[in-house]
Amino acid sequence: MSAAPILETQALECRFGGLRAVAALDMQIQPGSITALIGPNGAGKSTVINLLSGFLSPTSGRVMLGGRDVTCEPPHRLARVGLVRTFQNGRLFQRLSVFENSLVGSSSRVKSGFFDTVFRTRRFRSEVRALEERARDYLKEFDLLADTDRLVAELPYGKQRQVEMVRALVGAPSILLLDEPAAGLNSGEQEVLSAYLRTLRQRGLTILLVEHHMGLVMRLADHMVVLNFGKKIFEGTAAETQKSPVVAEAYLGRRGRHAVM
């Protein structure tokens, strides 16, 4: 843990009325790592993602990105500084094609204004060309080039999630927050996802994912953070997490007395 964390939370707390969804969370994400955020249902994992990506404001505590305090920044500004997220079950723009959906991901990189757009100046044209090229490159990686002009609604679920991933990557993020990226994927698709996330890590991207598929997560993650009832109860490597009795108890309950999850 010697390098400075790229993303960290300090005493992050989020209350809804009397309910503490996230309590006193201290978490450090190292650059270039894959961190998994796990925990039983209702542990507060999605809330953490929402807090980190600007969709929720914490009641107290701080979020630091690359040493900067970004606690109250709205989502679009976080995307601009390189923090991009995906959504549970995916959220795509139904009225746009696959290609257009991908292009929207680069919205934060567009500098042209009205004048450039209407008069199609050189600045506009070269900017658009660069963004379209990047989108096509990513679509090619996912083998989606044949589908570029189709409406996203026509694609099978697995491919839709991939389009969402392309959209996220086109924005050139430095850190990706993935909310249950494997949900609804069959085992073949999960393998593809795992492999791709490893590739992204090799390219220097930092990844934080919330996931329920334990097998996938155990093989993929460098570091795991376990939540229960909004609090961090354990963190460590995958191997350490598997052996931890604290984690087992959170998932399985005290032996014999609670239902197995």
Partner 1 sequence: MTKRLEHKLGAVILFLALMGGAAFLSDFDLRLAILSILAAISVIGLYFAFGLAGMIHLAQAAFVGIGAYASALAAQQLHVSPWIGLVVGVIAAALAGALLAYPMHRTRSHYLALTTVGFSVSFEVIIRNWTSVTGGYDGLGAIPLLRLDTAMRSELEFFYICVAVLAACVVAAMLLRASPFGRALIAVRDDELAAAASGIDIARLKTKAFILCSAYGGLSGALYAHYGGFISPDDFGLARAIMLLSMLIVGGEFSILGAIVGAFFLTYLPEWLRFIGGGYMAVFGLFMLAVLIVMPKGIVGSLGAWLVPRVARSR
> Rule CB under 8 A: is residue 92 a binding residue for partner 1?
yes
Separate counts of helices (H) and strands (E) for the chain: 10, 10
Separation of alpha carbons 66 and 214, rounded Å: 29
Given 89, 117, 126, 186, the residue binding partner 1 (CB under 8 A): 117
Left (φ > 0), alpha (ψ -120 to 50) or beta: where does 113 sit? beta
Separation of alpha carbons 97 and 167, rounded Å: 12
> Rule CB under 8 A: is residue 244 a binding residue for partner 1?
no
Complex with partner 1: residue 205 or 224, whichever CB lies closer:
205
> Rule CB under 8 A: is residue 249 a binding residue for partner 1?
no
Which range in 24-32, 73-81, 192-200, 205-213 contacts partner 1 by CB under 8 A?
Answer: 73-81
Complex with partner 1: residue 74 or 215, whichever CB lies closer:
74
Residue 110 CA from chain centroid, whole number: 22
Residue numbers 149-188 binding partner 1 by CB under 8 A:
151, 167, 171
What's the closest the beta carbon of residue 120 comes to partner 1, in angstroms?
7
Complex with partner 1: residue 117 or 186, whichever CB lies closer:
117
> Rule CB under 8 A: is residue 100 a binding residue for partner 1?
yes
Q: Which burial class, exposed, middle or buried, applies to 106 when counting CB atoms under 10 A from its CB (0-12, 13-18, 19+)?
A: buried
> Rule CB under 8 A: is residue 74 a binding residue for partner 1?
yes
What's the closest the beta carbon of residue 79 comes to partner 1, in angstroms?
4
Separation of alpha carbons 45 and 37, rounded Å: 7
Left (φ > 0), alpha (ψ -120 to 50) or beta: where does 177 sit? beta
> Rule CB under 8 A: is residue 123 a binding residue for partner 1?
no
Complex with partner 1: residue 84 or 250, whichever CB lies closer:
84
Q: Which of these, 193, 247, 243, lies nearest to 217 by C-alpha position?
A: 193
Given 5, 65, 124, 162, the residue binding partner 1 (CB under 8 A): 124
**Contact by Cβ (8 Å): 209, 20:** no
Instruction: Summarize as ranges the residues that interact with partner 1 (CB under 8 A).
Output: 53-55, 74-77, 79-80, 84-87, 91-96, 100, 103-110, 112, 114, 117-118, 120, 124, 128, 131, 151, 167, 171
